[in-house]
Amino acid sequence: MGDTSAHAHHSNKSLRQKYQWVSRCYDVLDYPWEIQYRKWRPSILDDVRGDVVEVGVGTGNNLNFYHPSVHVKAVDISQNMLNQARRKSRNAACHIDFICDDACYLRQVESSSCDWLLSTFLCCVMPDELQPLAIGQFGRVLRTGGRFRILEIIYSREPGLRRRQQRLAWLVEKLYGARFDRHTLRYLEADKGLRVTDVKFLKNDTYMLVEGIKIDAGQPAGHNLS
């Protein structure tokens, strides 16, 4: 555990530094993709209510789509990204607390304090060996019966599309630290405190939306699509 924690500290320090400068141009760089993402955000957040933690909130592109009754803890590892999110969400209808924190620890989020956990394009940035650490924190902060919804991008199985992704992969990793070959779904399914209830794709077989709930310790976990 000590080695994992040390690796998490080193990796996330590098990510924090990367996003400190990427934050200045993030929305410009991301604009071609955001044209598509903004069409998905209302439906992704439509049924979200109660106390919510959004981990990896970035520059806050989700925040204006939350229901007015929602109380959001908006978490990001980069203070500069949070500053952008704060400015962008001035007209948001919901209540927002901005929290600079590490997804692997979530030290500023109390256990069993959230009805929902949201994450969009966080885990593709996180090295595989650290994902179980972060996913364990996702389960810790959710109340029993609380729900999670996680959107990620993965490699396509379709050869032509995969080749196009591979041509862009070096740039995506250099700019954002993101990769298309993470195994987030596997780690979610392996977590004993969470149950994956649905997996679907918003576009092709690359934009993967994973949904689930936090379960009692005595309940079986794993992937249940019934």
156-167 tens-digit pLDDT: 999 999 999 999
Spatial CA neighbour of 140 closest among 112, 176, 107: 112
Handedness of CA 97, 102, 104, 106 (dihedral sign): negative
Does pLDDT of 79 surpass 90?
yes
Distance from chain centroid for Cα 115: 16
Model pLDDT, residue 8: 59
Q: Give residue-wise pLDDT tens across range 196-214.
A: 999 999 999 999 999 999 9
Domains of the chain listed by start with CATH number:
2-223 (3.40.50.150)
For 158, what's the count of Cα atoms within 13 Å in the CB-facing half-sphere? Answer: 8
Model pLDDT, residue 175: 87
Q: How far is CA 24 from CA 21, 27, 28, 78, in A?
A: 6, 8, 9, 12
